[in-house]
Amino acid sequence: MSKDYAVYYPQDEMTTFLLPVTSGCLYNKCAFCSMYKGEKYREVPFSEVEMQLINGYTYTERVFLTGADPLSIGFDRMKRLLDLINKYLPYCACVASYASIKSISGYSVEELSILHDAGLRLLYIGFETGRDDILKLMNKDHTVNGAVKQAKKLNAAKLSFDSIIMYGIAGKGKAADNATETAKMVNRFFTNKVITMNLTVFHGTELNNMVQRGDFTPPDKTERLLEIRTLLENLQPKQPMVFDTTHPTNIIRIKGTLPQDKERLIYEVADRIGISKQTK
């Protein structure tokens, strides 16, 4: 396989064995995303996957499947892939992957459960926001209710997932409402972790065109911090859930477990808002 393609992985998987499954993004239409622009979607042939595994370290304990949405290859290929991983890396206890709401919708709870039992233990899913109008504006391929439905399927299959949400995505003046609605969405299912990303306007994206036309104004730093605080205030997980803003795009780096660290995290954001107001 040509190495001339983009490879992205979550920061928690920085030291994980990376196994290419797809390249490019099958959807590739989210307004804010520049990651796979101009790159053709491709599924990596099993012969190439097998070669990577044969050359892998036998005692590998964790594997991350690379590609924008490896679950888009479908159940039969996912199961075959996990069986190959088990064959060549018998000590692997966790296979992790990005996944989209759309691709998960193609799996039944039973199929997700089979994949879990075959070693798929963690998904990273871009929910982005709990507002349908913003999902539509950003041309995401799902709705809030659709996302909750797929999240509940994963809960039923006991397949853990981290939820990626993006602050700033609703634009100037809408951050607090976006945070409230996003928290309401997350409160409807169980997720290991909320990972926040900070909206960035990348060159060559539809979002950049919207900004240039004056159709979208990103919120300022203080409004974004208030959005994080409002999100924290409204998150009410029914089981311990990590809240993590340490991804490099973020304007504040905090991490803790809800509910027990809630007050401390809110204080840290409030403290930063005070500082940012003084230095603005």
For binding to ligand SF4 (CB under 6 A), which residues are involved? 25, 27-30, 33, 35-36, 68, 100, 126
Kindly report the backbone phi and psi dihedral angles of residue 189, in degrees, each rounded to the nearest multiple of 5, phi listed first: -145, 175
Shortest reach from residue 204's CB to ligand SF4, in Å: 12
CB of 240 to ligand SF4, least distance (A): 27
Q: CA–CA separation, 155 vs 87, rounded Å?
A: 27
Q: Which of residues 30 and 82 has its CB atom nearest to ligand SF4 in the complex? A: 30
Q: State the nearest-atom distance from the C-beta of 125 to ligand SF4, in Å.
A: 10
Cβ closest to ligand SF4, residue 25 vs residue 254: 25
Task: Please report how close the Cβ of residue 25 comes to ligand SF4 at its closest, in angstroms.
Answer: 3
Residue 35 vs 201, nearer CB to ligand SF4: 35
Q: Are 236 and 187 in contact (CB under 8 A)?
A: yes
Q: Could you tell me the smallest distance in angstroms from the CB atom of residue 36 to ligand SF4?
A: 6
Nearer to ligand SF4, 129 or 230 (CB): 129
Q: How many CA atoms lie within 13 A of 194 on its CB side?
A: 32
Nearer to ligand SF4, 123 or 265 (CB): 123
**In the complex, least distance from residue 66 CB atom to ligand SF4, rounded to whole angstroms:** 12
Which residue's CB is nearer to ligand SF4, number 28 or number 250? 28
Judged by beta carbon, residue 30 or residue 226, the one nearer ligand SF4 is 30
Q: Is 168 left (phi over 0), alpha (psi -120 to 50) or beta?
A: left
- Please, what is the minimum distance in Å from the beta carbon of residue 97 to ligand SF4? 13
